[in-house]
Amino acid sequence: MVKTEIHTHVGIISLNHPEKLNALSREMVHDLVAAFESFKADGIRVIILKAEPNKSNVWSAGHFIPDLPEDHEDPLGYNDPLEVLLRSIQRYPGPVLTQVHGSVWGGACDLIMTTDISICDPTATFAITPAKLGVPYNASGIGHFIARLGTNQAKEMFFTARPVDAITAEKWGIVNHLVEEDQLEPYTMEMAQHITTLSPLSIHVIKEQFRILANSQALSADVFEKIEGLRTMVWESKDYHEGLKAFREKRKPDFTGE
């Protein structure tokens, strides 16, 4: 479900499941994590993550919704495949760049927030959608958005679940650069190749410090348990089941807040 290529010290990973709009299924995430591991073993210094085109012009549709559990289980727990992928991006010893053409949804938007540098073209949009499905988003994920955007914009994205267009995404800092469609690939590759000429050890250690500093806000056990209690209430709710059922039945959900 992914394609990989290597150009000297740059590794390219492309999401490649057009039939399901590159939704992040268990299988796709497994292949992605394996690609990161293999690039790490080969000493690849910079990774570009991109997506093969599809008819809907979707970069990724986010979590593969049929994988979300319906049996009283945390849908975004520590061992959820997407969470495992986000940690492998954060711990990759070199920068992970995303090259975005098309719309980005839900968990894939969290993935963009977790990568190191993002570049998009005017077709890109970004939406974070738990409120459309009744999903209790997790604290680490909300933290990724606050870190990248600040609280005001992060709240707007979560509370409206509306796609943010490419111009706004650049203004808000979701992406570092918005470039013309025909420049997306060369611009991203030039930046990646430039980074490979710099000290990989220095960059690795700086990236690790960014990761540690971003997680340096300690939560007390009490606060952590409170957050988990609140989230449990949501995934055990009627709304969560209604959100998943409505997706299966291809209709709008009818949420009651129960």
Q: According to CB under 6 A, which one of 128, 154, 184, 191 is a site residue for ligand YXS?
A: 128
Query: What secondary structure letter does DSSP report for 20?
Result: G
Catalytic residue among 11, 62, 94, 137: 137
Query: What secondary structure letter does DSSP report for 18?
Result: G
Our CB check for ligand YXS shows the closer of 23 and 97 to be 23
**Stretch touching ligand YXS by CB under 6 A, among 2-10, 59-67, 195-203, 232-240:** 59-67
The 3-class secondary structure across 152-166, one letter per residue, is HHHHHHHHHCCCEEH
Contact 120, 140 (CB under 8 A): no
Q: In what order do the strands lie in the sheet with 164-165?
A: 58-60, 103-105, 125-127, 164-165
Q: Which of residues 129-168 bind ligand YXS (CB under 6 A)?
A: 129-130, 132-133, 135, 137
Contact call for residue 235 and ligand YXS (CB under 6 A): no
Contact call for residue 59 and ligand YXS (CB under 6 A): no
Contact call for residue 58 and ligand YXS (CB under 6 A): yes
Could you tell me which residues are beta bridge partners of residue 2? 15
Q: Which two tokens stand for residue 38?
A: 């293999």
Contact call for residue 100 and ligand YXS (CB under 6 A): no
User: Does residue 78 have an active-site annotation?
Assistant: no
User: Does residue 134 have an active-site annotation?
Assistant: no
Our CB check for ligand YXS shows the closer of 20 and 211 to be 20
Distance of closest approach, residue 23 Cβ to ligand YXS, in angstroms: 4
For tokens 């706004």, name the residue.
168
Catalytic residue among 9, 17, 63, 144: 63
Neighbouring CB atoms inside 10 A of 212's CB total: 9
> Any residues with CB less than 8 A from the CB of 139 and at least 6 apart, and which?
219, 227
Contacts with ligand YXS by CB under 6 A: the residue count is: 21
Q: According to CB under 6 A, which one of 2, 13, 15, 21 is a site residue for ligand YXS?
A: 21
Our CB check for ligand YXS shows the closer of 126 and 137 to be 137
Distance of closest approach, residue 168 Cβ to ligand YXS, in angstroms: 18
Q: According to CB under 6 A, which one of 17, 45, 50, 63 is a site residue for ligand YXS?
A: 63
How far is it, in rounded angstroms, from Cα 107 to Cα 187?
25
Backbone angles phi and psi of 46, in degrees to 5: -140, 140
Q: With b meaning 16 or more CB within 10 Å and e meaning fewer, what string describes 68-97? A: beeeeebbbeeebbbbebbebbbebbbbbb
How far is it, in rounded angstroms, from Cα 13 to Cα 196?
17
Catalytic residue among 62, 106, 107, 141: 107
Q: According to CB under 6 A, which one of 64, 145, 235, 240 is a site residue for ligand YXS?
A: 64
Our CB check for ligand YXS shows the closer of 40 and 162 to be 162
How far is it, in rounded angstroms, from Cα 156 to Cα 162?
9
Catalytic positions are: 63, 107, 137
Residue ranges binding ligand YXS (CB under 6 A): 20-21, 23, 56, 58, 61-66, 105-107, 128-130, 132-133, 135, 137
